Amino acid sequence: MAKRLLSIWFPRLASDISLRRRPVEGPFALTLRSGNADHLHCVSPRAQAQGLARGMALADARALCPDLATRPADLGREAAALSGLLRWAGRYAPLVARDGSDGLIADVTGVPHLFGGEAALRADLHGRLARIGLAAQSAIAGSRGGAFALARHGGGILPEGALAEGLGKLPVSALRIDHDTAETLSRVGLGRIADLIPLPRAPLAKRFGPALVMRLDQALGTRSEPVDAAPEPPHFGVRMTLPDPIGLQEDVMAGLTRLLERLCDKLGTHQHGARRLLLELHRVDRETAQVRVGLARPMRDPARIAALFERGVGEVEAGFGIDAMRLCAEVTERLPPEQLGSGKTLGGPKPRSEDALADLISRLGNRLGFEQVQRLLPAQSDIPERSFLLAPAAYSEAEAPPPRRGPPRPLLLFPPEMVTGARGAQPGHPPAQFRWRNMRFSTLRATGPERIAPEWWFDDPAWRSGIRDYWRIETREGPRLWLFHTPQVAGWDAGGAQDWFVQGEFP
């Protein structure tokens, strides 16, 4: 069976999808910043009728068309739209791939008879695209290069064995060669593909490069060019249509449990775990309620995920009833197979401590925001205030503090608090008695000092007084405190040298 390729070109994809969301009556164009000026990225038919074209400077375009309406181009949305069209085009061929940033190529060998022939297939394709507001041109030929060239020069169908005859009238620029090569060919009188076909290949390759000969042979079908369709990433979404509307929370949770089991099986097959899930509840009155849940770590355990949905599902207004449910994992991460429980108990697997902590962070994060649930991470600094970092617990892993040389540090740190009534302090010794937080303390045992110098590359107002001497104080009243003061040292500003502060407490 002879190979047949279908090429689909969307000449105004970016502007068409933008106008679908927000229609504009007059001339319209999308702009893209290039260098220090804005240029037209895609123009509508009305703008094109007034002489505007892609690549034109925006200032020149406004001079030709003062009433031109513009919007910034969104390349990400354009790529996402082409990805959606690629999945949709699977209805016409089992193998579909991108063909540049504005086209698709499909291998329709053995498929057209299912639609009533190649002409009927193209008619169905264009009819469906026209109904959703997308302009397109298509062509069917026996080679990928031939279908590409014909789709961008009017479209149509080339019968088997008619590649050379059908492509001969097209310009050489249709061969997917660079602009400079096409200009050079035109200057020497080789402006059409028919002018190149009878020429010997060796002189062509020597004069214009091997790329020209390769593209010419691919268009004529003498050199194969497969449709290299990249595998689409898996879509982690499941849905359920209910025979009768439901409204009770326990019924919705029962349906959610079934969806979670199917979704987690799919996640496990691809060794992924969900980080954010969206539950859509479609009501009888065509309204949709959404419940979104975030997870502190990748997960695919249906029972643990279902517990996080209970609060959100309980707040949903069911109205006249819910007749359809859809569950989608919006964000996923790689998650190799792992043990879900650490042992067997009468009630089932016993949760691991890290799982229980992850569930707690997930519950708090869904109520307060994941950025608000933070953990302390160790940092490489001798300054007490810089010996730790605050990081969102959901996006970081717990770290053990590095081995430390020198005296131990307190587990509880707080901003320095001045002590009052310090008595008995002598050079090189802490006070014998002092008051802190309206309590009187007497020094029983003192260990120190540990001298810490400020980091000169940071301008910290709290350390401008110079070095600090830290003491570990055991009091008769029980608390073990971390005190410091700033001694008088030559070369340092020793302002407040007689003041003592508490900055931590030992367990």
Q: What is the pLDDT of residues 180-221, one digit of tens each?
A: 999 999 999 999 999 999 999 999 999 999 999 999 999 999
The Cα 116–Cα 118 span in angstroms is 7
Question: Does the pLDDT of residue 252 top 90, yes or no?
Answer: yes
The Cα 317–Cα 281 span in angstroms is 10
> In terms of DSSP bridges, do strands 468-475 and 374-378 run parallel, antiparallel, or are they unpaired?
unpaired
Kindly tell me the sign of the dihedral angle through the C-alpha atoms of 226, 230, 231, 234. negative
In this structure, what are the phi and psi dihedrals at residue 135, rounded to the nearest 5 degrees?
A: -80, 140
What pLDDT was estimated at residue 492? 43
What pLDDT was estimated at residue 349? 52
Asked if 191 and 184 count as a contact pair (C-beta separation under 8 A), the reply is no
Strands (E), 102-227: 103-107, 137-141, 156-157
Question: Does the pLDDT of residue 151 top 70, yes or no?
Answer: yes
The mean of the pLDDT values for the chain is 89
Q: Which neighbouring-strand residues pair with 332?
A: 274
Question: Does the pLDDT of residue 457 top 90, yes or no?
Answer: no
What pLDDT was estimated at residue 345? 45
Q: What percent of the chain has pLDDT over 70?
A: 94
CA-nearest of 500, 490, 376 to 435 is: 500
Burial zone of 29 (CB within 10 Å; 0-12 exposed, 13-18 middle, 19+ buried): buried
Weakest-pLDDT range from 49-63, 356-370, 417-431, 436-450: 417-431
The Cα 346–Cα 121 span in angstroms is 62
Q: In this structure, which amino acid lies at residue 284?
A: V
pLDDT (average), residues 310-329 = 93
Asked if 272 and 295 count as a contact pair (C-beta separation under 8 A), the reply is no
> In terms of DSSP bridges, do strands 28-34 and 37-43 run parallel, antiparallel, or are they unpaired?
antiparallel
pTM, 2 dp: 0.60
What pLDDT was estimated at residue 386? 87
The Cα 102–Cα 112 span in angstroms is 23
pLDDT band at 339 (very low <50, low <70, confident <90, very high): low
pLDDT tens across 111-135, in order?
Answer: 999 999 999 999 999 999 999 999 9
CA-nearest of 432, 449, 447, 441 to 486 is: 449
pLDDT (average), residues 283-304 = 93
What pLDDT was estimated at residue 443? 94
Chain centroid to CA 140: 36
Q: Under 8 Å CB-to-CB from 422, ≥6 apart: which residues?
A: 431, 433, 434, 500
Question: Does the pLDDT of residue 344 top 60, yes or no?
Answer: no
pLDDT (average), residues 389-412 = 85
Question: Does the pLDDT of residue 442 top 50, yes or no?
Answer: yes
Weakest-pLDDT range from 133-142, 406-415, 433-442: 406-415
Burial zone of 337 (CB within 10 Å; 0-12 exposed, 13-18 middle, 19+ buried): exposed
The Cα 295–Cα 276 span in angstroms is 6
What pLDDT was estimated at residue 226? 85
pLDDT band at 346 (very low <50, low <70, confident <90, very high): very low
Q: In this structure, which amino acid lies at residue 231?
A: P
Question: Does the pLDDT of residue 440 top 60, yes or no?
Answer: yes
Burial zone of 242 (CB within 10 Å; 0-12 exposed, 13-18 middle, 19+ buried): middle
Place of tokens 């190979």: 3
Phi/psi-derived region of residue 253, left when phi > 0, alpha when psi is between -120 and 50, beta in every other case: alpha
